[in-house]
Chain A
């Protein structure tokens, strides 16, 4: 079963690579570099003295805004899910912010706070926060009222019901929210860096000006690997931390 899934995965990737190769050979590497050309250009990209510091800077600075968004978003989401008044007040803002793309906010934030760390942290925070809030809110609303009744039957106090029922019920969803948030944080960070031509986004900008698109595709592939790697890591953490959830969903 596990092996079969892996085979299907690999088959899917190979098919796309073949399609990509065909399109690339047809259009030429000025438009779409082929996977083979990308693979050849990749070592050069990875050994570029600017590459690793740019990647490190992007991830490092992104983490600040991302962790802040989790620190604010998780409690806010729980409060929204468990308290009618908080939900009524915050929900309209959440619905509005979540549909605004990070790119739309970039010019405004640059005017407000320049192009430094504050700006980058802020754009990541704003772009990530509401996805975290909305996922946690839904999870908190769905906590089983019957299990809360069970706890109450055993004379659990409000705090004990929070600690013994609501928090553990939310646990797997916290890690799901962290995963969703991470994807949005990374996207916002790349968008912001491309606007100001710094870090990894700056490299993407420069690569876009090259004659061949091979280095550009190389950077995009790196970005995909970083994102997929990080979410996979969080998924594994979730599987370890909430085995009852993972073994029930077969994850």
Chain B
């Protein structure tokens, strides 16, 4: 059983406490959104789970393995700006994680092609990143993370830099891909609607130092559709979270 358990994470940058004793759990196949104001520390928490930033204290356990302070093993990361390697074509970018693992060229390109097609980029195998639009670049970024078949997918405001239309399309695409290959997802965002639309559960974070203000189970069935954004329950939850965040910021 895939399972992520994060316990007692604290982090201070210089003298500024960013995270104080934070814990969270993610169950197999669960899509969890970390929602909070910009700069609150939710991205820091994600990078600690990813292993890029060392925590001052606390433990990260994935599938029974203590992975605190280490990168790799079981996690796939999607970065905010896609951050593709400009000297690699789309398919070579997707295959990167497999290459690092030492998978042979023919096999890794074959597997990369599968994910390239899954994110709808058939025909763009040999395109350079700068020839792709922002949305297409992030599709490659998503495929790159899926290609190593992680049990946990980490996404740090992946659609934050995209225009609204592209973001809506990519949200649907992400859900479609994720339903094809379900895995645990931690999705950092400051968009309330985005969190409600995508997640099974939302952890609403306070301003810095980040702590969980509220945990919200999203009651909508899957597959989800765009019309649910007009559902009275959706609007009620949106208003509730919005007031929660505003109240915290003004406190």
Binding site for B on A (CB under 8 A): 146-147, 149-156, 160, 164-165, 168-169, 171, 242-245, 247-248
Per-residue interface assignment for chain B, residues 59 to 92, with 1 indicating a CB less than 8 Å from any chain A CB and 0 otherwise:
0000000000011110101010101011110000
Binding site for A on B (CB under 8 A): 50-52, 70-73, 75, 77, 79, 81, 83, 85-88, 96-97, 99-101, 128-131, 148
Closest Cβ of chain B to A245, distance in Å, is: 8
Of all chain A residues, the one with the shortest Cβ separation from B53 is: A149
Q: Are A155 and B72 in contact (CB under 8 A)?
A: yes
Of all chain B residues, the one with the shortest Cβ separation from A171 is: B87
Closest Cβ of chain A to B91, distance in Å, is: 14
Q: Are A154 and B128 in contact (CB under 8 A)?
A: no
Q: Are B71 and A152 in contact (CB under 8 A)?
A: yes
Closest Cβ of chain B to A233, distance in Å, is: 22
Q: Are A160 and B79 in contact (CB under 8 A)?
A: no
CA distance A90 to B93 in the complex (A): 36
- A244 touching B86 in the complex, CB below 8 Å, given contacts A146-B79, A154-B148, A155-B72: yes
Of all chain B residues, the one with the shortest Cβ separation from A146 is: B83
Closest Cβ of chain A to B98, distance in Å, is: 9
CA distance A242 to B85 in the complex (A): 13
23 contacts between A and B (CB under 8 A): A150-B83, A151-B96, A153-B50, A153-B51, A153-B71, A153-B77, A154-B77, A154-B96, A154-B100, A154-B148, A155-B71, A155-B73, A156-B100, A164-B99, A168-B88, A171-B87, A242-B87, A243-B128, A244-B87, A244-B128, A244-B129, A244-B130, A248-B128
Q: Which residues of A contact B52 (CB under 8 A)?
A: 149, 152-153
Query: Which of B77, B79, B81, B96 sits near A164, CB closer than 8 Å?
Result: B96
Taking A152-B52, A244-B128 as known contacts, 10 extra A-B pairs with beta carbons closer than 8 A to each other, sorted by chain A number, are A149-B83, A150-B79, A150-B83, A153-B51, A154-B71, A154-B97, A164-B100, A168-B88, A171-B87, A244-B129
Central interface residue in A152, A154, A156, A160, by most chain B CB within 10 Å: A154
**When A and B form their complex, which 8 residue pairs have the shortest distance between CB atoms, in order from nearest?**
A155-B72, A168-B87, A154-B97, A153-B77, A244-B128, A156-B100, A248-B130, A154-B100
Q: Which residues of B contact A155 (CB under 8 A)?
A: 70-73, 100-101
Number of A-B contacts (CB under 8 A): 62
Q: Which residues of A contact B75 (CB under 8 A)?
A: 153
Q: Which residues of A contact B148 (CB under 8 A)?
A: 154
Q: Which residues of B contact A169 (CB under 8 A)?
A: 87
- A168 touching B85 in the complex, CB below 8 Å, given contacts A156-B100, A244-B130: yes
Closest Cβ of chain B to A169, distance in Å, is: 7
Closest Cβ of chain B to A240, distance in Å, is: 14
Q: Which residues of A contact B79 (CB under 8 A)?
A: 146, 150
Q: Which residues of A contact B51 (CB under 8 A)?
A: 153
Closest Cβ of chain B to A33, distance in Å, is: 49
Of all chain A residues, the one with the shortest Cβ separation from B147 is: A154
Central interface residue in B71, B73, B88, by most chain A CB within 10 Å: B71
Q: Which residues of B contact A152 (CB under 8 A)?
A: 52, 71
Of all chain A residues, the one with the shortest Cβ separation from B82 is: A150
Q: Which residues of A contact B101 (CB under 8 A)?
A: 155
Closest Cβ of chain B to A160, distance in Å, is: 6
Closest Cβ of chain A to B188, distance in Å, is: 14
CA distance A247 to B99 in the complex (A): 25
CA distance A166 to B181 in the complex (A): 33
Q: Are B100 and A160 in contact (CB under 8 A)?
A: yes
Q: Which residues of A contact B96 (CB under 8 A)?
A: 151, 154, 164
CA distance A60 to B2 in the complex (A): 65
CA distance A109 to B132 in the complex (A): 54
Q: Which residues of A contact B86 (CB under 8 A)?
A: 244-245, 248
- A147 touching B72 in the complex, CB below 8 Å, given contacts A154-B100, A164-B99: no
Closest Cβ of chain B to A159, distance in Å, is: 11
Of all chain B residues, the one with the shortest Cβ separation from A160 is: B100
